[in-house]
Amino acid sequence: MIGNIKGLMVTLRTMLRSPVTAQYPEMDKRTVLAKRFMGFPALLWDYSVDEPYCTGCMVCIRDCPTQCMSATMQDNLLHTEGKSKRRKIVESFEINLGRCILCGICVDVCNFDAIEMSHEHELSKYKRDGNRVDLPALLDMGKQFQRKIGWQPTQAKNVGATELVDNGAKGVPE
């Protein structure tokens, strides 16, 4: 009997506390997403030259554990005009968000700061193929994300990484 009463006292005290639950679908009552929250991958926009960071190099596609992406590459017109340093630029990019497992490997292997895990995380769509997102949609997601967290490029960090990948690809002995 004493044990039960002890338990009921806990319940009673909790009753007087404010609730800890968040009402998910309502916009103003949701929990706040952490800054590092990993939602769906999105492609980022280089505002300095007005083009995507992505060159369509396919590194992320090769390293994706679920093969949820595909991309094609084209020659960069802005480079021929001398405005951009990127010789190649992404032509098309598609991610099947239904397949994505949000592991963040694509972000880590990218040498150009082109892809980032956005805060987008809702999967329900009105159309059956609504989760197959193409390049404009991905760039939109990226722009929203850049605005939201005040994203800054981290190119300096990635310069070394590029060399490492090159060495690895050529099969230099360990």
Partner 1 sequence: MTIDQSPNSMDIMVNMGPQHPSTHGVFRLVIWIDGERIVRAEPHIGYLHRGSEKLSEGESYNQVITLFDRLDYVANLNCELAFCIAVEKLMAIEVPERSHYIRVILSELNRIASHMLFYGVYGLDVGAMTPILYGFRERERIQELFESVTGARMMHHYFWIGGVKEDLPDDFERRMKVLLPTLKQGIDECDRLLSDSELFLARTKGIGTITAEDAIDFGVTGPSLRATGVLEDVRISEPYSIYDRFDYGIPVGTNGDCWDRYYVRLEEMRQSIRIIEQAMEQMMPGETMAKLRRITRPPKGESYVRTESPRGDFAVFVVSDGTEHPYRVKVRTPSFANLQALQHLLRDAYVADAVVILGSIDIVLGEVDR
Unique residue bearing structure tokens 């094609």: 72
Closest separation in Å from C-beta 7 to partner 1: 5
In the complex, what is the shortest distance from the CB of residue 81 to partner 1, in angstroms, rounded to a whole number? 33
Tell me which residue has tokens 């090769």: 62
Its sign, for the CA torsion 126, 130, 131, 135, is negative
* Residue 91 Cβ vs partner 1, minimum distance, rounded to whole Å: 26
Residues 153, 14: Cα–Cα separation, whole Å: 47
Please say which residue, 65 or 130, places its beta carbon nearer to partner 1. 65
Residue 10 makes contact with partner 1 by CB under 8 A? yes
Give kind and range of the element (H or E) at residue 6. Answer: helix 2-15
Residue of 20, 27, 156, 159 that binds partner 1 (CB under 8 A): 20
- Select from 8-16, 84-92, 124-132, 133-141 the region that touches partner 1 (CB under 8 A): 8-16
Given 95, 106, 117, 133, the residue binding partner 1 (CB under 8 A) = 117
CB of 103 to partner 1, least distance (A): 4
Within 37-56, which residues bind partner 1 (CB under 8 A)?
37-38
Q: Give the three-state DSSP class for 49.
A: coil
How many Å apart are CA 1 and CA 10, to the nearest integer? 15
Q: Which of 12, 77, 101, 123 binds partner 1 (CB under 8 A)?
A: 101
Nearer to partner 1, 117 or 141 (CB): 117
d(CA 161, CA 64): 18
The rounded distance, in Å, linking the Cα atoms of 117 and 107 is: 7
Q: Is 156 in the site for partner 1 (CB under 8 A)?
A: no
Q: What's the first-to-final CA gap in the chain, in angstroms? A: 68
CA distance 41 to 139: 10
Q: Which residues bind partner 1 (CB under 8 A)?
A: 1-4, 6-7, 9-11, 14, 20, 31, 33-38, 63, 65, 101-105, 108-109, 117, 161, 164-165, 167-169, 174
